[in-house]
Amino acid sequence: MSLLAGKEPAPGLRVRIDPLVTVVAGGASVGFDVLPRSSDSRLSVAAFVVDVPRFLVPIVVAHDPRLRITETCFQIGWLTSSPAAGAREHSGFFVGPELYAYQLRYTDVDQPSRNATAHELYVHATAGFTWFPFEGAASGGTLVDDVYVMPWVTAGLPVFHTGGALFADGSGIEDRLFNWHGTISIGMQLF
C-alpha cells in the first residue's frame, strides 16, 4: 500500500474583491477562501477599509450625521456550501459563522481635528450564494470559467467592545449593539 494513496488532494484557493465597497464608498476589500477538496466547508479570510456612505451614517450613529465613519475590518469565517447535484464544489448557497474585528474612526466633517477611535469584535452569521456564470460557456475551458459572483449578507452581535469612542471634549459615541451589511463580491478560483 502506498503512503500517498490516502493523501488528501491539495486545497483550492479563491480570491475576491468587493466592487461595491470601492464604487459606493471609495474603499477597498479583498478576500481569500481556502477550499478543502474533501468537504463543502471552506476557510474565508478577508479585510476591508471603507468610509461608511453618508446616507448610512444616521443609521450607524443616529445622533450625529456630521460624522465620517471609517471602518477598518479583518474577518475570518468557516462557510459551508450546498452545491446542486453535478455542480462545482463550494458553489451554490452557503452559510456559516464569522468573526469581525473592527477599528472605527469617527471624524467630525466640520472639525477634522475632532476625532475618536473605537475597537469592536463581533460574531456574525453569514449567508450567500456562489455562482459561476461563465462556467461551460466557452469550449475548451478558459479563465472565465473560474470567475464567480457572490452576493451575501451578514449580521452579528458584539463579543467585545472598548467602551465606545471618546472625543477630547468629553463627548462620545456608544458601542454598536448590532452589526450588519450585504454586498456582492466578484472573484476567481485560482486552483
Q: What is the pLDDT of residues 81-127, one digit of tens each?
A: 998 877 788 889 999 999 999 999 999 888 888 899 999 999 999 99
The answer to whether residue 4 is domain-embedded is: no
Q: Is the pLDDT of residue 177 over 90?
A: no
Q: What is the domain extent for residue 166?
A: 12-189
The answer to whether residue 153 is domain-embedded is: yes
Share of the chain above pLDDT 70, in %: 87
Q: Is the pLDDT of residue 77 over 90?
A: yes
Task: Give the model's pLDDT for residue 186.
Answer: 96
5 versus 72: which is more confidently predicted?
Answer: 72
Q: Is the pLDDT of residue 76 over 50?
A: yes
The answer to whether residue 125 is domain-embedded is: yes
The answer to whether residue 5 is domain-embedded is: no
Q: Is the pLDDT of residue 8 over 70?
A: no
Task: Give the model's pLDDT for residue 1.
Answer: 39
Task: Give the model's pLDDT for residue 29.
Answer: 94
Tell me the three cell numbers of residue 64: 450625529
Task: Give the model's pLDDT for residue 90.
Answer: 86
Of 44, 129, 42, the residue nearest 84 (C-alpha)? 129
pTM greater than 0.75 (yes/no): yes
**Cα separation of 129 and 110, whole Å?**
41
CATH number at residue 27: 2.40.128.100
150 versus 176: which is more confidently predicted?
Answer: 150
pLDDT tens digits for 13-40? 999 999 988 888 789 999 999 999 888 9
CB 153 within 8 A of CB 182: yes
The answer to whether residue 6 is domain-embedded is: no
Cβ-based neighbours of 70, under 8 Å, separated by 6 or more: 49, 50, 51, 52, 104, 105, 107
The answer to whether residue 74 is domain-embedded is: yes
Least trusted range by pLDDT, from 65-79, 84-98, 113-127, 134-148: 134-148
The answer to whether residue 61 is domain-embedded is: yes
The answer to whether residue 113 is domain-embedded is: yes
Counted domains in the chain: 1
Three-state secondary structure call for residue 77: strand
